[in-house]
Structure 1
Amino acid sequence: MARRTSTFAYPTIPAVAWQAGLPVHGAPTWVVVVGTAGLPAAAKEAGERLGVDLDRLLEVQQESGFSPAAGATAAYPLLTGEVREVLLVGAGEQTAKELRQAGAAVARFGRGKDELTTVVAEGIDDAAVQAFAEGVVLGSFTYTLKTADVPEPVVARVTLTDGSAAERQPVVDRGIVIGRTGWLARQFAITPSNEKDPAWLAARATELAASTGLELTVWDEKKLAADGFGGILAVGQGSARPPRLIRLDYVPEGAGDDTPYVVLVGKGITYDTGGLSLKPREAMVSMKRDMTGGGSVIATMSALRELGAQVRVTGLICAAENMPSGSAYRPDDVIRHYGGRTTEVKNTDAEGRLVMADGLAYAVQELQPDVLVDISTLTGAIKISLGAMLYGGLFATDDALAANLTEAGRASGEELWRMPLPAEYESLIATPIADAVNSSKGPGSITAALFLKAFTGTTPWAHLDLSSIAESPADHHEYSAGSTGAGARLLTTWLTSEAPTAGIA
């Protein structure tokens, strides 16, 4: 069968540059970031250069309905001079979250423009400057296969300044890289599944490993069978496009025996029909993004060397396509996972936990990490628990690990809410036929987490169920309509923090 040629193109993101002092010659468009406290200190000098009373301009725009709420915008044309327009952008209290939203608004306004000069408040902290740069990258996101009416390209360059002599380009650069991981994970997730299959994911991982100094190992279906990865094989056996296990390894310069070791396990279901337990059409439509966890792991791994992460990291992406066919796995089948544990299948649409169980078991038995984290769009039940677009679900066996991930979520804008792991619910996934069933009545996100927990041994472990933040209904702040690439910014922020494994027992 002939394969379609890949059209995947890695993102071309805006250049974001920090300017110490106001530029002598600015871009045709100047952006002034406005907080609830008013204009930035450099606005007076900027206004003099532009021949505009920015205080009066702000008053007029507020009378017309503009507010400094994060992401609000008001444009004002200039009829003379090299600068042709001024854009006011709201940033609220100028927290990192609000400045990320402001940066995204600037990026959307700048589509098709060559350059923007942006003035922010003097004295905002590094986290806020970094978040603004992240927002510029994330708000620039676009993906289309259209041949006509193609969206305008991203703004080529954003020059950022607070008018002071401060030098903050390294902070901006970190924001660009973290924003890029979010873009990349989003692009992986939104790629249609007639192009994206497990081999396609492996090809993207291969390319990124070569360009970012990672070691790569890929298991094809024959090697998966030889090594006993029964969960991945079972889920993938109904598809004409076979499964893959992808392993990426990062080792920091100077690593020694005392360097902490983290393993990430990502769900890589490149399309999920539900298998023989077929989903209804409405539930199937967005399932090209069911590999968001795996895509986020690949995107995260690609940034570790550039950001100087000081932990060893292995990323495992458990990739399969869940299709109904004469060769598909069935309800009541019993599958044997890596290492021997067995699962009785009750619902072939609860497939993500089956492939991830193999990845977790392999990590514990063969890699023996200090910390184990899995990430997935695992259950619809987490949306019932947490709603949409506010929090992802966090389950953890170690309080320090939960706290570290929660802080990274807060810093990255991908926030988490910790959920319980009560042993009392383990009876809900018990069966006399096997070690567990893969689906049961009851609290679905919790029983799914408990199913996975059995494969983690005594290793400090966290499970991220991000279905609740994996899809945005519309362009809103740093998110574009569709797949959000949930988890890449969170994991990258965590793994490149000063001490990601601090306090973990």
Structure 2
Amino acid sequence: MPPRLVTGASRTTEIRVLAVLLGESLDSHLSSYTLDRDISVDLPDFTGGAGEVGEISATSAQGVRSRLIMVGLGSAQAAEVRKAGAAAGRRVRGKASVVSVHIALTHAGAFLTSLSLATYAFNDLKSLSDGTKQLETIEIDTKAKWSKLAHHQAIIDGIFLARDLVHTPANIKSPAWMAAQSVLVATANGLKSRVREERELEKEGFGGILAVGQSSRDRGPRFIELSYAPRGSAKWPHVVLIGKGIVFDTGGISLKRPYDIMIAMKSDMAGVAGIIGTMSTLGVTKPRVRVTALLACAENTISGTAQRPSDVITHFGGITVEVKDTDAEGRLVLADALAYAAEVLKPDVVIDMATLTGAATLGLGRQYAALYSNDDELALELETAGLASGDRAWRMPLIEDYRESLRSEIADLSNISSGGVGAGSITAALFLQHFVGDYRWAHLDIAGSGRSEVDAGENIKGGTGYGVRLLTEWLVRQ
């Protein structure tokens, strides 16, 4: 469970986090405490630099023994505040169920979000406790009413939800399970939901989702539609969020190698997870746009019914694709969703998000998503929202010269490039663009940013919940 944010600090709370600006005197923070030792002994070099942490023992004016954790905010730029919050979370993780935080409300949102994320743990499947404490409550040491409390709580909850979905093992996380979780989120947050199963997908012509999902006959694909459309929103702009939801990816017949890279493939639905997390916030953040989420969920495995390299499939809307690599399956399920959005929903903006290509990680590492767009204004808006929220994205080019590499001799397109072009993330985005209709479109390749390979900063090793902050920030700015 994510920690609850509350205003007002209990007098008996033992662990207290004090946020300090670069160069700020510590006297104003410590005047109500009696220190065990002179501050020069415990914090000889503390300056308040971003992410700098120090700890001292003291007694409060009420006689409560306290551990005071001093955390530097630097000059309080957004990235510095997040770094400080993560450092504070690392220091308190596993040590207390309740902590109080003294910080100016101007900086509280970013700080408390990062602090919370740094304490995340996925313990749902453990039968025995390891004795560590899970942070349950964060007291904000203020008497003022904080108007943004519910907003930031919703974002924290959404990211924790996304991380839980990613960390759930694939033997539990079937496409049907993903659909059930989506419906639960919709019901809890006043959203409408619709789930298409195989028979409907066949009838309506969702050839890409079916081609991938047919590999797992007893765990068939699902196409999930969630809608946020509050009363009076009929004339609002319509935004569609599309997610790749491959609950486990072996690569199919084009089997992944080396085999140990498959261990992380339960996270190949991180795009869907981030969108479900985003949808869970909308009842609180209340953006002035209608939002539809399209979640394309399937399992890509090996069986007698799996698609083969050289198969030709017909997508929603009629475009045919030659499958040259069954491990390039994410773009096949996304293509159906993009075409469905264009033909049926006719939105103003579409943003798709997917752990699509390892090439994105090679180019940008794990701190940035690769951003592609057919609209300069939309790309800038998403980059700006990313910097403001902490889910950063870097715009990449859609290079027209590479489009020819997707040509097929027997179908409209090939699902992978040929001719030694390379640039796998770019050519994957170009493939998707073939299915984009007459709308503003952006594609986020989160193969790097959707999963952390180390336990550091805001993230444990595994799913990051990328996209919840970015998409929520962008939506509320519309």
Aligned positions of 1:327-366 closer than 5 A: 327-366=305-344
1:36, CA displacement in angstroms? 1.6
Aligned residues of 2:93 and 2:118 also touching (Cα < 8 A): no
What is residue 482 of structure 1 aligned with on the other side?
A: 462
Of 73, 86, 95, 1:104 maps to: 86
Of 429, 451, 467, 2:406 maps to: 429
Task: State the percentage of identical aligned residues.
Answer: 41
Counterpart check, 1:301 vs 2:279: yes
What is residue 30 of structure 1 aligned with on the other side?
A: 16
What is residue 3 of structure 2 aligned with on the other side?
A: 14
**Unpaired runs of 5+ in structure 2?**
none
Aligned residues of 2:35 and 2:56 also touching (Cα < 8 A): no
1:334, CA displacement in angstroms? 0.2
Counterpart check, 1:450 vs 2:430: yes
Which residue type is aligned with residue 462 of structure 1? A
What is residue 182 of structure 1 aligned with on the other side?
A: 159
What is residue 75 of structure 1 aligned with on the other side?
A: 55
Structure 2: distance between partners of 1:89 and 1:142: 22
What is residue 492 of structure 1 aligned with on the other side?
A: 472
Aligned positions of 1:189-228 closer than 5 A: 189-228=166-205
**Unpaired runs of 5+ in structure 1?**
1-11, 500-505
Cα distance 1:147–1:157, how it changes in 2: closer, same or farther (>3 A)? same
Structure 1 stretches of 4+ moved >4 Å:
none
Aligned-partner SS, 2:31: helix
Of 442, 465, 468, 2:448 maps to: 468
Counterpart check, 1:140 vs 2:119: yes
Report Cα offsets for 1:244-299 as digits up to 9, x if no partner: 00000001332132x00000110000000000000021221100000000111111
Structure 2: distance between partners of 1:151 and 1:348: 44
Structure 2: distance between partners of 1:378 and 1:289: 11
1:75, CA displacement in angstroms? 2.2
Aligned positions of 1:44-443 closer than 5 A: 44=28, 46-52=29-35, 57=39, 59-63=40-44, 66=46, 68-78=48-58, 81-108=63-90, 109=92, 111-120=94-103, 122=104, 125=106, 128-144=107-123, 145-150=125-130, 152-161=132-141, 166-167=144-145, 169-239=146-216, 240-257=218-235, 259-280=236-257, 281-387=259-365, 389-441=366-418, 442-443=422-423
Report Cα offsets for 1:144-190 as digits up to 9, x if no partner: 222234362322322223x6x643x2223322211221111111111
Cα distance 1:154–1:186, how it changes in 2: closer, same or farther (>3 A)? same
Aligned-partner SS, 1:216: strand
RMSD, aligned CA: 2.0
Which residue type is aligned with residue 142 of structure 1? A
Structure 2: distance between partners of 1:130 and 1:482: 24
Which residue type is aligned with residue 23 of structure 2? A
After TM superposition, the structure 1 stretch with the greater mean CA deviation from structure 2, 481-490 or 331-340, is 481-490
Aligned residues of 2:57 and 2:65 also touching (Cα < 8 A): no
What is residue 5 of structure 1 aligned with on the other side?
A: none
Aligned residues of 1:376 and 1:467 also touching (Cα < 8 A): yes
Structure 1: distance between partners of 2:410 and 2:284: 49
Report Cα offsets for 1:443-485 as digits up to 9, x if no partner: 1111100000010122110000011212212222211221112
Structure 1: distance between partners of 2:144 and 2:96: 27
TM-score normalised by structure 1 residue count: 0.88
1:229, CA displacement in angstroms? 0.3
Report Cα offsets for 1:289-319 as digits up to 9, x if no partner: 0000011111111111111111000000000
Paired residues, number: 469
1:140, CA displacement in angstroms? 2.4
TM-score normalised by structure 2 residue count: 0.93
Aligned-partner SS, 2:170: coil
Structure 2: distance between partners of 1:416 and 1:110: 28
What is residue 502 of structure 1 aligned with on the other side?
A: none
1:24, CA displacement in angstroms? 8.0
Structure 2: distance between partners of 1:53 and 1:78: 5
Report Cα offsets for 1:197-231 as digits up to 9, x if no partner: 10010010011111100100001111111111000
Which residue type is aligned with residue 139 of structure 1? A
Structure 1: distance between partners of 2:358 and 2:32: 54
Cα distance 1:465–1:491, how it changes in 2: closer, same or farther (>3 A)? same
Aligned-partner SS, 1:170: coil
1:330, CA displacement in angstroms? 0.4
Cα distance 1:88–1:201, how it changes in 2: closer, same or farther (>3 A)? same
Structure 1: distance between partners of 2:51 and 2:161: 23
Structure 2: distance between partners of 1:24 and 1:135: 22
Aligned-partner SS, 1:365: helix
Structure 1: distance between partners of 2:204 and 2:264: 32
Report Cα offsets for 1:413-450 as digits up to 9, x if no partner: 01110000121111000112111100124211111000
Aligned residues of 1:47 and 1:53 also touching (Cα < 8 A): no
Which residue type is aligned with residue 479 of structure 1? N
Aligned-partner SS, 2:280: helix
What is residue 503 of structure 1 aligned with on the other side?
A: none
Report Cα offsets for 1:95-121 as digits up to 9, x if no partner: 22222232233334153424322222x
Structure 1: distance between partners of 2:115 and 2:150: 12
Which residue type is aligned with residue 213 of structure 1? G
Structure 2: distance between partners of 1:477 and 1:253: 40
Aligned residues of 1:252 and 1:309 also touching (Cα < 8 A): no
Aligned residues of 1:29 and 1:117 also touching (Cα < 8 A): yes
Aligned residues of 2:213 and 2:298 also touching (Cα < 8 A): yes
Aligned-partner SS, 1:448: helix
1:49, CA displacement in angstroms? 2.2
Cα distance 1:176–1:419, how it changes in 2: closer, same or farther (>3 A)? same
Structure 2: distance between partners of 1:451 and 1:246: 22
